[in-house]
């Protein structure tokens, strides 16, 4: 596992473990919205940035904003009301639990506090030391131009069934010849992750004849088999690649649809920024590893 992969796996955990985070799931949101806090409160003027007080303990707008962000739901008055109620309820729970003095020294509480502290420290450290290179408009445009230059005049829409051996491939072909539906058979027999979509692949375009390294990451034998099929055709023999067998169906062929630069530049920029972040992260981790004593 690469250092960059490890960082990507840890990063959501670091964010989610923030001490002040108030996470709400859609189900919890619905429950909270249906059962608002209705306890009477004394009329008072709240300080700027404070949305509520529970026995003189302030709940801030910053806490609410974090809760909205963590929820992953669209911001709305209903969501804000539900999350505000949840924050109030959570503070009521905390205060009542604290009165008993039965929880402060429990091992699981101490461990949770330490883990949250470690996560917050690590998150801030990563923010301070990992400095990815800025992505320029020229870099984004260059990537777009490179992608467009790699496209062929046609693009292909296909489905794929991946099996582990020649016997399984022969069985799939026999069932297809007997009239089995390709998509349903892919869901039943394929080993590929896209089996849930009936083996469907995205539209893909590359110059023909297909050459190694110029097939948009599609394995060369598969790309070659794909371009040899007529629309609606299925490979008569399985394609053997990397000790795995593939049966292909070419569903459609059309002239290549080249998107406008303005429609895709945001996505391309995000890709380059992610790559820059990964590169910067690997650099930091590599430097730390060189100075550390790690036993496994």
Average pLDDT score over residue span 5-20:
34
- Say if residue 191's pLDDT is above 50: yes
With a CB cutoff of 8 Å and minimum separation 6, the contacts of 252 are: 156, 157, 231
- Say if residue 12's pLDDT is above 50: no
pLDDT, residue 247, reads 98
Let me know whether 117 and 165 are in one domain: no
pLDDT, residue 70, reads 94
pLDDT, residue 131, reads 94
What's the whole-number average pLDDT of the chain? 87
Structure tokens at 206: 């590359």
pLDDT, residue 44, reads 58
Residue 1 lies in a domain: no
Alpha-carbon gap, residue 198 to 189, rounded angstroms: 10
Residue 184 lies in a domain: yes
Do 267 and 147 contact (CB within 8 A), yes or no?
A: no
Per-residue pLDDT band for 124 (boundaries 50, 70, 90) equals: very high
Residue 2 lies in a domain: no
pLDDT in tens, 66-118: 999 999 999 999 999 999 999 999 999 999 999 998 998 899 999 999 999 99
Do 226 and 246 contact (CB within 8 A), yes or no?
A: no
Let me know whether 137 and 181 are in one domain: no
- Residue carrying structure tokens 């959570």: 90
Residue 4 lies in a domain: no
Structure tokens at 226: 């794909």
Please report, for the domain that includes residue 225, its CATH number: 3.10.50.40
Do 251 and 159 contact (CB within 8 A), yes or no?
A: yes
Range of the domain at 288: 131-142+260-296
Q: How many beta carbons lie within 10 A of that of residue 23, not counting itself?
A: 14
pLDDT, residue 117, reads 96
Let me know whether 61 and 119 are in one domain: yes
Q: Residue 18: which of 130, 127, 113 has the closest Cα?
A: 113
pLDDT in tens, 13-71: 333 333 233 333 444 444 444 445 555 555 457 999 999 999 999 999 999 999 999 99
Q: Residue 242: which of 169, 187, 164 has the closest Cα?
A: 164
DSSP letters, 79-93, are HHHHHHHHHHHHHHH
Alpha-carbon gap, residue 236 to 247, rounded angstroms: 8
pTM greater than the 0.85 cutoff: no
Structural domains in the chain (count): 3
pLDDT, residue 32, reads 43
Let me know whether 236 and 281 are in one domain: no
Give Cα 218 to chain centroid, integer Å: 22
pLDDT in tens, 233-284: 999 999 999 999 999 999 999 999 999 999 999 999 999 999 999 999 999 9
């Amino acid at each position: 596992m690469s250092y960059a992969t490890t960082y990507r796996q840890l990063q959501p955990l670091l964010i989610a473990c923030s001490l002040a985070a108030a996470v709400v799931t859609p189900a919890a949101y619905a429950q909270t919205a249906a059962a608002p806090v209705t306890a009477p409160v004394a009329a008072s003027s709240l300080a700027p940035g404070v949305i509520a007080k529970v026995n003189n303990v302030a709940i801030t707008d910053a806490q609410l904003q974090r809760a909205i962000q963590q929820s992953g739901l669209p911001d709305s008055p209903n969501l804000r009301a539900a999350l505000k109620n949840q924050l109030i309820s959570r503070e009521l729970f905390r205060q009542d639990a604290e009165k008993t003095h039965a929880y402060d020294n429990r091992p699981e509480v101490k461990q949770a506090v330490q883990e949250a502290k470690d996560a917050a420290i690590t998150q801030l450290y990563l923010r301070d030391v990992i400095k990815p290179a800025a992505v320029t408009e020229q870099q984004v445009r260059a990537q777009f131009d490179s992608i467009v230059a790699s496209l062929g005049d046609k693009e292909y829409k296909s489905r794929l069934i991946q099996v582990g051996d020649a016997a399984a491939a022969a069985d799939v072909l026999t069932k297809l010849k007997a009239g089995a539906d390709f998509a349903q058979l892919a869901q039943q027999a394929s080993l590929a992750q896209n089996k849930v979509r009936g083996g469907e692949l995205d539209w893909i375009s590359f110059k023909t004849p297909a050459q190694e390294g110029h097939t948009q990451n599609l394995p060369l034998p598969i790309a070659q088999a794909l371009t040899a099929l007529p629309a609606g055709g299925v490979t008569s023999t399985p394609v053997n690649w990397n000790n795995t067998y593939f049966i292909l169906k070419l569903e459609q062929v059309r002239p290549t649809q080249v998107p406008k630069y303005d429609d895709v530049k945001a996505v391309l920029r995000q890709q380059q920024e992610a790559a820059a972040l990964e590169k910067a992260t690997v650099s930091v981790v590599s430097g730390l590893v060189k100075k550390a004593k790690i036993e496994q």
